[in-house]
Chain A
Amino acid sequence: MENVVHDKVVKDLMPARFGKAGVIWTSTLVVLCIIGLVAYIEQLREGLSITAMRDYASWGIYISNFVFFVAISLVGSLITAIFRLTNVQWRTPLTRISEIIAVAAIIFAAIGIIIDMGRPDRLWHLFVYSRLQSPIIWDVIVITTYLVLSVLFLYFPLLPDLPLLIKGKEANPKGFAGKLYKFLGSFWKGKDDQRKYSETAIRIISVMIIPVALSIHTVTSWLFATTYRPGWDSTNFGAYFVSGAFLVGAGGVVIAMYVFRRAYHLEEYITDKHFDNMGKVLVMLALLYLYFNLNEYLVPAFKMKKAEEHHLKSLFTGEYARLFWSVIVLGMIVPVIVLLFKKGRRPLPMFIMGILVVVGAWYKRFLIVTPTLLSPFLPMYDVPESYTHYHPTPAEWAITISTLSGALLVITLFVRYFPIIPIQETIEEREANLNPNS
């Protein structure tokens, strides 16, 4: 009986070659990445003048995209670490999905900072001439640490699956996949001491990654909060950013769950129950984020200090009002309402709500970064009128979209070569369910 379970799980969860849709999807991502790369080469040649960033909006969609990536990467600690430490039983099929999202996002968050640099050839100055007093250095330190921990958190639980992959039908020892699997896991024999070391490592990472993940987003929020600007001058920013990050991360996992379930026919593993549970998590996180939004906007709006008036009015009734209210309503309130109902927590509505949350979250980062810069406490004298608005150029859009495509490409390629649901862990869980007394 156990062999039957083993064989079925292995058969169901082994990575498979792309179908027609997979090839089209991957090709599209590659093309978008190439377009972005061409635009970036142009930016290297011409400088940041090809962007719409000027003296007022010195941070545009590159930085809001960076904050978005940092935010969505937090899901690794939520699903994998918090759920693992609190022994949430239904987490298994979601752990690897969330970890690869975290790794892909944090890689492109780091790339995002370099893209925003006018002189990327001076990146090394950041390390050689770093000042520990600067929040930017804190960000560099925590991003590097989080990236390393996330890769380890992806790798250690992957070890037991690698021998299965080596034996599997993809395992042409001379092919790319075969060589990759052997390099990564030919030494895994499932011995007791190996399991013990691996479990110890996973436990350590589960504990460590939570404060590191919280720091990465808190420190990113401090990049803003330590700058005296309307909308950023808040003591609440760390918690506000972390709560938003949990929301977008959970939204990202929901989208990935739906896509992988459909693409690889994983209905037996990513069940309606998983969607139902994630729906409840999403409601809780959306309400939490709404609470912080209320704090961030209602309290300053109640006082309506003269210096902050321009910024708040640009969001509530001005240039960014349509975007602002769309994000609040579609990205937070509508998901809460829909997901409160059991029918709303079924896969398709969940998928749609996940998209609303993630797209809303991307634009939310834009609303945090740019309108503030367009409303300085001390307006500049005699600047061209165009400087007081920000409309990203096609090059900026191309580069930004290419980073998003790049992150999706990393996830896609990972899924092509590795099981997106942990095979060995699933087998052990199922066997344990069959023999509860063993």
Chain B
Amino acid sequence: MKYAAIILTLLICGVSATAQDKATVRLGLTFRKVNDEPPVLRCEAKTKTGKRFEPVENATVNIYFSEEDNSNLIGTTKTNGKGIADVSMPAAFIARMDSSASWHFVATLAEGETYKGASAEADITRARLQVDFQEADSTRTIVAILSEWKDGKWSPVPQTEVKLIVKTLFSDLPVGEDTYSTDDEGKVSSTFDMKLPGDAEGNLTLGAKVEDHEAYGTLFATGKMKWGTPAIPDDSFSKRTLWASRDKTPWWLLIGPNLIILAVWGSIIYLVYLFVKIRRSGMQKT
């Protein structure tokens, strides 16, 4: 009896130890909307290992609209190598979203072999970020207006941080100050006097963004303007240059050194010819 109690205790400890071995997952759920494109819901799953957070890879995530129910399932996806899973809002849900001023989202992460299940929720207020580009007397201005859906109409949102940016290859370059606070009309603006290379026609992608706002999520509004310097693509690699491939050696480098090489090796061949004459002369019987 005594031994049975010990074995039972050990078994219980073992089971609880196995359960404890599974890592706790921190699941984040964020909302992101770019221009008039369908919103994207992003889940980020990570676990704490020692003092560092590690991404949870290849975990199954379900995202629901309003509440966790199969009829509300927006989509199912798996986290990538960075522990991130994105789901784009299907058209069927966009119509449901348009009928209310705020939305509730739920994300659940299914339990895996090494981690426990987790869930996250997000409440988003329906908001809109618009951007406008004005040009008067060679003064260029970017204007952004932030408004939210209230009482059946769009109302300006004051005193909220908005960034004005130029999109570059890897990140967003701030225009003017790092951030601006909206005025009573929900408006921010900045003159644009940066000299930046654009595309071949000088187009720059300019815009405004509200980043990780607790009520609105991330809102992005962009537009293209010919406010940049037209970039002439560097196609020198396909021309005869010092840095081109071997079949595009500059003519001067091809002709000059090859003439020298021919002259030197021609002389060496002549030396060999002299040697042959010396040899022949020695072989002749006198």
User: A residues touching B (Cβ–Cβ < 8 Å)?
Assistant: 129-133, 138, 141, 145, 148-149, 152, 156, 159, 186-189, 191, 193-194, 197-198, 200-201, 204-205, 208, 212
Contacts and interface: CB of A to CB of B under 8 A. Distances in A.
Given A132-B253, A145-B268, A197 B246 contact: no
B264 A212 contact: yes
A149 B272 CA distance: 11
Contacts of B249: 131-133
Given A145-B268, A197-B274, A132 B254 contact: yes
Contact of A131 (B246, B261, B268, B274): B246
A130 B278 contact: no
B265 A145 contact: yes
A186 B282 CA distance: 8
B245 A191 contact: no
22 contacts: A131-B245, A132-B257, A132-B258, A133-B244, A133-B249, A133-B250, A133-B253, A138-B257, A141-B261, A145-B264, A145-B268, A152-B271, A152-B275, A186-B282, A187-B278, A187-B283, A191-B282, A193-B277, A194-B281, A197-B275, A201-B271, A212-B264
Contacts of A152: 268, 271, 275
B267 A194 contact: no
Contacts of A156: 275
Given A133-B253, A152-B271, A197-B278, 11 more contacts: A131-B249, A141-B257, A149-B268, A152-B275, A188-B278, A194-B278, A194-B282, A197-B281, A200-B274, A204-B267, A204-B271
B270 interface: yes
Contacts of A148: 268
User: How would you classify the secondary structure of chain A's contact residues: helix, strand, loop or mixed?
Assistant: helix
Contacts of A194: 278, 281-282
A198 B268 contact: no
Contacts of B242: 133
B253 A201 contact: no
A204 B270 contact: yes
A197 B283 CA distance: 15
Contacts of A191: 281-282, 286
A212 B268 CA distance: 12
Interface string B229-261: 000000000000011111001100110011001
Nearest to A187: B282
Nearest first, the 7 closest Cβ-Cβ pairs linking A and B are A187-B282, A131-B246, A201-B274, A197-B274, A187-B279, A132-B249, A133-B242
Given A141-B261, A208-B264, A198 B246 contact: no
Q: Is the interface of B mostly helix, strand, loop or mixed?
A: helix
Nearest to B275: A201
A208 B267 contact: yes
Contacts of B264: 145, 208, 212
Given A131-B246, A138-B257, A188 B270 contact: no
B259 to A, nearest CB: 12
Interface in B182-238: none
B141 to A, nearest CB: 39
A121 to B, nearest CB: 21
A205 B278 CA distance: 16
B252 to A, nearest CB: 11
A130 B246 contact: yes
Nearest to A138: B257
A204 B264 CA distance: 11
A405 B277 CA distance: 37
Contacts of B274: 197-198, 200-201
Identify the interface centre among B243, B254, B279: most chain A CB within 10 Å of its CB.
B279
Contacts of A131: 245-246, 249
Contacts of B250: 133
B244 A188 contact: no
A422 B260 CA distance: 32
Contacts of B245: 131
A118 B281 CA distance: 48
B282 A132 contact: no
Contacts of A138: 257
A307 B242 CA distance: 26
Nearest to B253: A132
Nearest to B257: A132
Contacts of A133: 242-244, 246, 249-250, 253
Contacts of A130: 246
Given A131-B249, A133-B253, A198 B261 contact: no
Contacts of B270: 204
Contacts of A208: 264, 267
A90 B119 CA distance: 96
Given A145-B264, A201-B274, A189 B282 contact: yes
A133 B242 CA distance: 5
B282 A129 contact: no
Nearest to A205: B271
A96 B261 CA distance: 27
A194 B243 CA distance: 49
A46 B245 CA distance: 32
Nearest to B247: A131
Which of B267, B274, B275, B278 counts the most chain A CB atoms within 10 A? B278
Nearest to A153: B271
A17 to B, nearest CB: 29
Contacts of B253: 132-133
Nearest to A226: B242
Nearest to B276: A197
Nearest to A145: B264
A249 B244 CA distance: 38
A132 B274 CA distance: 31
A107 B115 CA distance: 64
A201 B267 CA distance: 10
Contacts of A205: 271
B277 A197 contact: yes
